[in-house]
Structure 1
Amino acid sequence: MNRIGPDPNAIFPNPSMKRICYIKNVITRSNISIGDYTYYDDPDGADQFESHVTHHYEFLGDKLVIGKFCAIAKGIEFVMNGANHRMNSVTTYPFNIMGEGWETVPVSLDQFPFKGDTVIGNDVWIGQNVTIMPGVHIGDGAIIAANSLVAKDIPAYHIAGGNPCRIIKKRFDDELISYLEQLKWWDWPADKIFDNLEILCSSDLEMIKNVK
């Protein structure tokens, strides 16, 4: 029996389910970083994940960083900082990108709102048709409900949803959340994860405290 699980370097970990793609292995942009085993689920092209990261221009310098073992459902959209328009002038209209002489309008990057990198932690579950705005940080183990618009940070091991997205509740008590953040099971070697699958998937939350 294979005791290490699927190959994290495979595009489709289960060849019979090509709606699920390990997206680390199809990324071409240097400003996107994805951890091992994180997947995108989309029957209409799971390997086209990059098309769901919009307004992402290298000259702006912002990055999309997603950790390990995240589950991302179809319809995700990461809106990056390039979507922002100038707001401290009479008009927000981007004359300079239209050409035909308008490109001569002076533009400085410091005129545009810049929210920084978008960072998704490890073991995060993001439901269908979620939009994540620039600069948002979502903590390890968080759950984002379907059809949410996420414009603010979500702490680790919290459930959030809605438009705008709001925190609904904590998944666990503070003691267990702190323990899991220190445990970092997603960094275990593949054989240790395999040997502890029953514990990781159990609703008996005391079991995880006995892992060696």
Structure 2
Amino acid sequence: MSARESRIVDAATLQRLGLQIAAGDPGIRGELRYENPAWIFGHRLKNCSVGAFTFFNAAGLTSAYRVQFGRYSQIGESSVIGPPEHPYDWFSNHPFAFTRPNLLPSMYVMPEFVRLAPEASDAPSFAEEAPNDTIIGHEAYVGVGCFVKRGVRIGDGAVVGARSVVTRDVPPYAIAVGSPARVIRLRFEDRIVERFLALEWWRYDLAPFKQHVDFAKVEATLAFFEERKSLGELQPLRPDSYRITQSDAGLKLQQLDRPLYFA
């Protein structure tokens, strides 16, 4: 994905560009890509992407690592999503055995750790070869205090109940709860779920139609947007999208040439 020239920005500028973050410590680690608008406040996101209208509860502290958040996803406070895993079957599962300077730079500031730990030129690390991104689907909901294992996919429209421990994929529009989390039912009947997945409403700009629907009435609203789609009246949602990286001077912002999703 190509990008335009970068510039240093503050929290107030990012808010004008559709990202709600904390003014003190914005919580961004590594890189963040986002679509306008998104709300992450002071939560800690490391190397994540956030789709339009995704919202993190302002309270508590949620940590997310290498997570792709879809559009309209909602994340409860005090959750941990996609944390790094350790090789428990190695001689040692401590980071000295498998990390690299680019992965844990804060540990490499200690000379004694540098003396023991791998160097940047060593072969690819366990962390780089472990399961990749965790996926939180479009309009998925992760409740308060959840743990989501790295590499898990939570499907579009799925709901994860509070305090759940998610160790395996959750199907679209399923409700999963518990430790470990298990699917207890779907949000809607199978035929309704199939219609939601065929419509993929999160791809489109719904704002022009907000006075014509009652979102509490599921089947009527589905039918309305299905008809609009069949008539070619739904326009793609193409939010301005940005890439933020850390630098010694502050947060560096680049505007991307196209949205993160459905480009």
In 2, Cα distance between the equivalents of 1:104 and 1:184? 45
Asked if the contact 1:138/1:153 (under 8 Å) is kept, the reply is: yes
Identify the match of residue 9 of structure 1 among 18, 23, 38.
18
Identify the match of residue 39 of structure 1 among 55, 58, 62.
55
Count of aligned positions:
181
Following superposition, the deviation at residue 206 of structure 1 comes to 4.7
In 1, Cα distance between the equivalents of 2:77 and 2:51? 18
- Shift of the 113–208 alpha-carbon distance from structure 1 to 2, 3 Å rule, reads same
- Shift of the 113–42 alpha-carbon distance from structure 1 to 2, 3 Å rule, reads same
In 2, Cα distance between the equivalents of 1:158 and 1:196? 28
In 1, Cα distance between the equivalents of 2:165 and 2:92? 26
Please give the TM-score of this superposition, normalised by the length of structure 2. Answer: 0.58
Percent of residue pairs bearing the same amino acid type: 22
Secondary structure in structure 2 of the residue aligned to 1:205: helix
- What is the letter of the counterpart of residue 185 of structure 2? K
- Name structure 2 gaps, 5 residues minimum: 1-15, 22-36, 98-106, 229-263
* Greater fraction strand: 2
Note the 1:1-212 alignment, pairs <5 A.
9=18, 11=20, 22-23=38-39, 31-44=47-60, 52-53=63-64, 56=65, 63-80=66-83, 83-96=84-97, 99=113, 101-103=115-117, 108-110=124-126, 114-198=130-214, 200-202=215-217, 204-211=218-225, 212=228
In 1, Cα distance between the equivalents of 2:70 and 2:209? 16
- What is the letter of the counterpart of residue 92 of structure 1? N
- Name structure 1 gaps, 5 residues minimum: 1-6, 13-20, 57-62
Please give the TM-score of this superposition, normalised by the length of structure 1. Answer: 0.70
Secondary structure in structure 2 of the residue aligned to 1:178: helix
In 2, Cα distance between the equivalents of 1:133 and 1:139? 14
Following superposition, the deviation at residue 150 of structure 1 comes to 0.9
- What is the letter of the counterpart of residue 174 of structure 1? D
1:55-85 C-alpha deviation (Å, 9 max, x unpaired): x4xxxxxx311111112111121133xx222
- What is the letter of the counterpart of residue 139 of structure 1? G
Following superposition, the deviation at residue 159 of structure 1 comes to 0.2
